[in-house]
Copies of this chain bind each other. A is one copy, B any other.
Amino acid sequence: MSYTGERLKIVVRNLNVYYGKTQALKDVSLDVQANKVTAVIGPSGCGKSTFIRTLNRMNDIIPGARVEGKITLEGQDIYGNNVSAVEVRRRVGMVFQKSNPFPKSIFENVAYGLRINGLITRESGSLRERIEKALADAALWDEVKDRLNTSAFELSIGQQQRLCIARALAIEPEVILFDEPCSALDPIATAKIEDLLRDLKSKYTIVIVTHSMQQAARVSDLTGFFLLGEMVEYGLTSEIFSRPKDKRTEDYVTGRFG
C-alpha cells in the first residue's frame, strides 16, 4: 500500500520470516514513508519485533532465523548480494525495548558508533561536537553535560533510554527503528520520549513498535496492525483508530481482545 505524494524510504514486499520451522511473518508488504512516524501495533507474539528487526537485518544474528521476500532501502535491496548487514545497520539505526547502554561512560557510549564506523579518524576535534549534537538531539545534553565521563549506569532508566537514542543518532542513520522503547519507562519518561519522537521525524524516518494503542495514536502518522504474523491493516493512524476497515482491527482497537 503506498500513499501517493509521499517519498518512500523503505519498501517491504512479500516478507516471510521463519524461526526454524515456525513462521513468524506471513507475506507482509508495507511501505515506510520518509520523515514520518510509522507505528506497528498488535497483540503479543504477533511478529512486531520480528518485522522491524528485518528492516536492519538484526535477525541475521538470531540462529535459525530465515528471511524471504524483498526489502529495499531507497531502492536498494538490503538483502542483496553485495550489501553487507553492517552497512545496512549503519543506515538504519535501532533503539530497544529495554535501554541497553554499554558499561562505559556516557561519552564513550555515544562515541562507540563513531569509532567503530571510523567516522572520527580524521578530525578528532569534531568528536566532542558530534557527541554534543547527538545528546542535544536526544534532549539529554543539558542533563548530562557536566558528567560525560561518569558511567552510563548512573543515569535513570529514562535517561538511559535517551542515551541509547543519542547513540543511535550519533552515526546519523537515515531510519531509526524503535522496538517498544517506552515499555520499561514511567509515564513522565514516556512523555519525554514521545515528544522527542515528534521532533526527530523532521530529520529521520521513524518506525516504532508499541504494545500500547494509545501510544501509537499519540505519536504516529501511519499505523500497521499485525495479528498472528500477518499484517491485517495499514493506513493513516487517524483512520485505523476511527474507521478501521477490518473487523479484527476494530476488535483490537476497541479492546475486544488483547
Q: Which residues of A are at the interface with B, using a C-beta cutoff of 8 A? A: 43-45, 183-184, 186-187, 190-191, 212-214, 217, 228, 255-258
Q: Contact: A257 with B190, CB < 8 Å?
A: yes
Which residues of chain B are near A228, meaning CB under 8 Å? 186
Please measure, in the bound complex, the distance between the C-alpha atom of A190 and the C-alpha atom of B257, giving whole angstroms: 8
Please measure, in the bound complex, the distance between the C-alpha atom of A212 and the C-alpha atom of B255, giving whole angstroms: 8
Q: Contact: A258 with B214, CB < 8 Å?
A: yes
Q: Contact: B187 with A257, CB < 8 Å?
A: yes
Which of B43, B44, B191 makes the CB contact (< 8 A) with A257?
Answer: B191
Q: Of all chain B residues, which has the CB nearest A213? A: B255
Please measure, in the bound complex, the distance between the C-alpha atom of A256 and the C-alpha atom of B219, giving whole angstroms: 12
Min CB gap A176→B, angstroms = 22
Please measure, in the bound complex, the distance between the C-alpha atom of A44 and the C-alpha atom of B211, giving whole angstroms: 12
Please measure, in the bound complex, the distance between the C-alpha atom of A64 and the C-alpha atom of B190, giving whole angstroms: 29
Please measure, in the bound complex, the distance between the C-alpha atom of A183 and the C-alpha atom of B256, giving whole angstroms: 14
Q: What is the count of identical protomers in the complex?
A: 2
Which residues of chain B are near A187, meaning CB under 8 Å? 43, 257-258
Min CB gap A211→B, angstroms = 9
Q: Contact: A183 with B257, CB < 8 Å?
A: no
Min CB gap A178→B, angstroms = 17
Q: Of all chain B residues, which has the CB nearest A187? A: B257
Min CB gap A115→B, angstroms = 35
Q: Contact: A44 with B183, CB < 8 Å?
A: yes
Min CB gap A156→B, angstroms = 13
Please measure, in the bound complex, the distance between the C-alpha atom of A217 and the C-alpha atom of B191, giving whole angstroms: 26
Q: Contact: A214 with B257, CB < 8 Å?
A: yes
Please measure, in the bound complex, the distance between the C-alpha atom of A187 and the C-alpha atom of B184, giving whole angstroms: 24
10 contacts between A and B (CB under 8 A): A43-B186, A43-B187, A45-B186, A186-B228, A187-B257, A187-B258, A190-B257, A212-B258, A214-B256, A217-B255
Please measure, in the bound complex, the distance between the C-alpha atom of A203 and the C-alpha atom of B191, giving whole angstroms: 43
Which residues of chain B are near A44, meaning CB under 8 Å? 183-184
Which residues of chain B are near A213, meaning CB under 8 Å? 255
Which residues of chain B are near A191, meaning CB under 8 Å? 257
Please measure, in the bound complex, the distance between the C-alpha atom of A256 and the C-alpha atom of B213, giving whole angstroms: 10
Q: Of all chain B residues, which has the CB nearest A256? A: B214
